[in-house]
Structure 1
Amino acid sequence: MGSHGSHLEREPELNLILEETGFSRANLNRLHHRFRYLDRNNKGFLSRMDLYNIKELEQNPLADLIIDSFFPDGGQCVDFQGFVWVLAHFRPLEGKDSAAQDPQKPEPLNSRNSKLRFAFQLYDMDSDGKISKKEMLQILRLMVGVGVTNEQLEIIAARTVQEADEDGDGAISFVEFTKSLEKMNIEHQMSIRILK
């Protein structure tokens, strides 16, 4: 398997990845093959440009923001473990949320709360812990595209923030974001079927 294979074969690292992400060994093998396919230069890491070759992101209006999530510290590349860690947020839930079952274990990356935190961080572009009207407008522009005027988008953004903003500070906190989405099936919305 070459240098890529040796990374996946290191048992302590493999066990840590399995534990952190909840993926099965079979899933991890498939993701490793996908990683190697995207790593066309065989460097052992992916750049932003490599990630733009993920077919599932082509039609996603938030592709740039999702790709940015692979580089939380502004880095220029992501290794296999970082790649899998981000994708684990999109792993469908099996049965009940396991965080509720065992309080000693860390919350799974694919739990409802982790998925909401991940989505919130995509929307909170300046990382200040709040989604402002300006940030909501930027997200709407990405998601809606053409066909809706800027004036209409500004009204929608203002109304969205106003409806979710319970403390009246003009922005949406994580708690307010979570509450505004409590009826949405975020587990389904933020799942990629290939990650089962």
Structure 2
Amino acid sequence: MGNSSSMLTQYDIEEVQEHCNHTFTQQEIVSLYQRFCQLDRNGCGFISADEFLSVPEFAVNPLSQRLLKMLYGLNFKEFVAFLSAFSPRATVENKIEFIFKVYDTDCNGKVSFNDMLDVLRDLTGQFISEQQREQVLTEVLEEAGYQKDSSLVLSDFKKILGNSGLKMEAEVHLD
């Protein structure tokens, strides 16, 4: 399974399914493996940043650089686990954990106001001013019972996003 030129065995498929909490069917895992092999042009069992950026939808994503840091050095099994947050079968908790990792770029288990501001900056670009971003973020935090100087841990994120009624869905296209 480490070498992209090999074929997946039934055992490999079941192992990957277990690793990603059964968010993908066996057929979806086979499709993801085929796509992984297409992207892994040098056949090393990992997808490089350049190979990821060859996917147009990924390259134009305003968070692509953050996602690349999360994807760096992933083998196929880890790649599928990464994508599982985008599955319609992923739990809200799994999706929130993924979002938290996007914000927690230094992997210290905390998300600061500046971490959130950086993501908001990536998402909004030049469409709103820095002052507007700070104001919006401050209001959202205060509405959730936090202050600008709060550092949020995963449980805080779960509380805020889980109670917000947000419907968090994205699709993984296997074509």
Interval of TM-score (by shorter of Structure 1 and Structure 2): 0.7 to 0.9
Question: Structure 1 residues 40, 167: closer, same or farther in 2, change over 3 A?
Answer: same
| Partner residue of 1:136 out of 110, 116, 120 | 116
Asked if the contact 2:5/2:43 (under 8 Å) is kept, the reply is no
Distance 1:129 1:162 in 2: 21
Which digits, 9 at most, give the CA deviation of each residue in 1:78-116, with x for residues without a partner?
Answer: 2211211111121112xxxxxxxxxxxxxxxx2211110
User: Is 1:8 aligned with 2:8?
Assistant: yes
User: Is 1:17 aligned with 2:16?
Assistant: yes
Distance 2:31 2:69 in 1: 23
Q: How does 1:8-157 map to 2 (within 5 A)?
A: 8-9=8-9, 11-21=10-20, 22=22, 23-71=24-72, 77-93=73-89, 110-157=90-137
- Could you say which residue in structure 1 is the equivalent of 2:143? 163
User: Please, which runs of 5 or more residues in structure 1 have no aligned partner?
Assistant: 72-76, 94-109
* Count of residues paired in the alignment: 168
Q: TM-score, normalised by structure 1?
A: 0.75
Asked if the contact 1:129/1:174 (under 8 Å) is kept, the reply is yes
1:167 CA displacement: 8.1
Question: How large is the Cα RMSD of the aligned pairs?
Answer: 2.3
Distance 2:101 2:172 in 1: 22
AA partner of residue 45 (structure 2): G
User: Is 1:194 aligned with 2:173?
Assistant: yes
Distance 2:110 2:140 in 1: 13
Question: Structure 1 residues 82, 7: closer, same or farther in 2, change over 3 A?
Answer: farther
Which digits, 9 at most, give the CA deviation of each residue in 1:2-29, with x for residues without a partner?
Answer: x5352523x4332211222222221112
Asked if the contact 1:70/1:78 (under 8 Å) is kept, the reply is yes
What SS does the corresponding residue of 1:128 show, helix, strand or coil? coil
Question: Structure 1 residues 40, 112: closer, same or farther in 2, change over 3 A?
Answer: same
What SS does the corresponding residue of 2:74 show, helix, strand or coil? coil
Q: TM-score, normalised by structure 2?
A: 0.82
- Could you say which residue in structure 2 is the equivalent of 1:105? none
